[in-house]
Amino acid sequence: MTDMTDARTYDVVVIGAGPVGENVADRARAAGLSAAIVESELVGGECSYWACMPSKALLRPVIARADARRVPGLRHSVEGPLDATRSSRTATSTPRTGRTTARSAGWRASASTCTAATAASRAPARSRTPRRTHRTPAPGPPRGGRLHRHPRRPADLPGLADVKPWTSREATAADHVPGRLLVVGGGVVAVEMATAWQALGSHVTVLVRGGGLLPRMEPFAGELVQEALTETGAEVRCGVSVTAVERENGTVTATLDDGSALQADEILFATGRAPRTDDIGLETVGLEPGSWLPVDESLRVDGSEWLYAVGDANHRALLTHQGKYQARVAGAAVAARAQGVPLLETDRWGAHSATADHAAVPQVVFTDPEAASAGLTLAEAEAAGHRVRAVDYDMSGVAGAGLYADGYRGRARMIVDLDREILLGVTFVGPGVGELIHSATVAVAGEVPLERLWHAVPAYPTISEVWLRLLETYRG
């Protein structure tokens, strides 16, 4: 199908060798297409080196220690502060040098077996004569999960450049513990890094522009995380914006819009993301550099016959796992079109539609307590026009939760589509819910009727029994 004697001709050229790009190339190759990956930094992407893996490795000891301390008979034997330099993070990846350890290399090997058939180049990628290839900008490298290389910072914030603020990269890579850390933002990166550095010994103050933490989840998620952060000694200030920053003799001073000022040793900006599509030549194909790229359900850029946008660049769901999901869908769609096979566009949940991007996105926030969700929040479901009912349950009433942690605090909510009697979304907040959420993802993506969920019996005594309580609460 491809003239392999011309090494510069490929069926598919992928920009970005993160997990998303690798998955696209993998799928294309599995379908018999040739594929090249272009990468300007490290094969493996943001996720492996600067985002998901090191941040979760930083958080795992925090959560495991908190879990142990909540177990009677064990509480008193877990002593001493966490040591950042001995943490899992160090063993997982060494972001400053980009050296790949066995673990992340192993992860990459399992994520992609197509390297033999693809080419990776460190040259910046620009469009030249791309009309005959399928190009898939996964913003190079794809920005794993919620962290990314160039966080959006208030560009006009006075003094910003001189302050040398932390981005998510420094927050996961720093090898010293600042005495005082300011965290600007209230989203996932902000709360995870606040949790980590407070546990590592910093005094953390979180500055949130809006009314609370984790604004994209159900309101109680941010409330419970804020309550717990506060109990560990961190401060959370809502409804404030930073208007200026300066650093003098090592100390950062942040001025707020209420006129007050705060001092700290480091300041982390975790205030959002910008699409990294500014330097890939979008202008050569009539698109605006630096913009998000709207796509259809097969991840093909609106108005294009050959250009796909997979991962953060399309702004559908800025999460590593969802980008990899899109990669599978896009790879299948590219292959089908190359082979002249009609796309199953009428099948909403077929292999060529990234339907879960709208209906069943899961997310786990690795804080203490963990906050996990799948599908829509109540507000999202209502905004989408569904006739719904939110069913809440206090997870401290679940026997398995009480066994898991003394004084367990947590809350669950499921959003019932009253017309179809299926679930549109589920949120769990509490210790140990990070793996439990996949049951919700299966229920939501599988559109399993509530009537049938009664037959999905939770093992006793696990935290999963919250499912039974939710069903009972719904039935009344």
- What residues numbered 291-350 form the site for a copy of itself, per CB under 8 A? 319-322, 324-325, 328, 349-350
Taking the complex as a whole, how short is the minimal distance between the CB of residue 355 and a copy of itself, in angstroms? 6
- Looking at the Cβ atoms of 10 and 428, the one nearer to a copy of itself is 428
Nearest-angstrom CA–CA distance, 463 and 402: 8
Residues in region 358-377 near a copy of itself by CB under 8 A = 360-364, 372
Site string for a copy of itself, 380-399 (x = CB under 8 A): -----------------x-x
| Selected range binding a copy of itself among 169-177, 280-288, 301-309, 402-410, rule: CB under 8 A | 402-410
Taking the complex as a whole, how short is the minimal distance between the CB of residue 11 and a copy of itself, in angstroms? 21
Taking the complex as a whole, how short is the minimal distance between the CB of residue 260 and a copy of itself, in angstroms? 36
* Residue 88 interacts with a copy of itself (CB under 8 A): yes or no: yes
Site string for a copy of itself, 100-139 (x = CB under 8 A): ---x--xx--x-----------------------------
Q: What is the DSSP string of 205-248?
A: EEEESSSSS-TTS-HHHHHHHHHHHHHTT-EEEES--EEEEEEE
- Looking at the Cβ atoms of 10 and 404, the one nearer to a copy of itself is 404
Q: What is the DSSP string of 82-134?
A: --GGGSHHHHH-BTTTTB--HHHHHHHHHH---GGGS-EE-SPP--SSGGGSE
Burial class (CB in 10 A: 0-12, 13-18, 19+), 110: exposed
Burial class (CB in 10 A: 0-12, 13-18, 19+), 80: exposed
Residues in region 149-178 near a copy of itself by CB under 8 A = none
* Residue 465 interacts with a copy of itself (CB under 8 A): yes or no: yes
Taking the complex as a whole, how short is the minimal distance between the CB of residue 94 and a copy of itself, in angstroms? 14
Q: How many residues bind a copy of itself (CB under 8 A)?
A: 93
The answer to whether the peptide bond before residue 141 is cis (omega within 30 degrees of 0) is yes
Nearest-angstrom CA–CA distance, 177 and 197: 7
CB 37 within 8 A of CB 16: yes
Site string for a copy of itself, 10-39 (x = CB under 8 A): ------------------------------
The type of residue at 86 is R
Residues in region 41-60 near a copy of itself by CB under 8 A = 47, 52-53, 56-57, 60
- Looking at the Cβ atoms of 82 and 240, the one nearer to a copy of itself is 82
CB 51 within 8 A of CB 189: no
* Residue 94 interacts with a copy of itself (CB under 8 A): yes or no: no
CB burial of 249-272 (b: ≥16 within 10 Å; e: otherwise) equals: eeebbbbbeeeeebebbbbbbbbe
Residues in region 424-453 near a copy of itself by CB under 8 A = 432-439, 441-446, 448, 451-453
Nearest-angstrom CA–CA distance, 392 and 96: 44
CB 130 within 8 A of CB 11: no
- Looking at the Cβ atoms of 138 and 254, the one nearer to a copy of itself is 138
